[in-house]
Amino acid sequence: MAGTLTERDALENIRQQTERFEQLEAENHALRGENTRLKKNIEQLERVGPQHSVEEPKGGPG
């Protein structure tokens, strides 16, 4: 009968979905790590930012 999913097909689908899930978990973990790193970088820049800001020159040339 066409359209009937065999046990072998079902197991293959599960294997593929498991593989994809594991890939997504690894990507999620990497992105969370990068997010944490970037947040720390932003916090550090906010702490030192005002001390290192570039100010416009006061007064005109000459």
pLDDT along the chain (62 residues), means of 10: 86 98 98 98 90 62 58
**What is the spatial distance between Cα 16 and Cα 21, in angstroms, rounded to a whole number?**
9
**pLDDT for position 30:** 98
Spatial neighbors of 5 by CB under 8 A, at least 6 apart, are 13
**pLDDT for position 49:** 77
pTM higher than the cut 0.85: no
Phi, psi values for residue 57, rounded to 5°: -65, 140
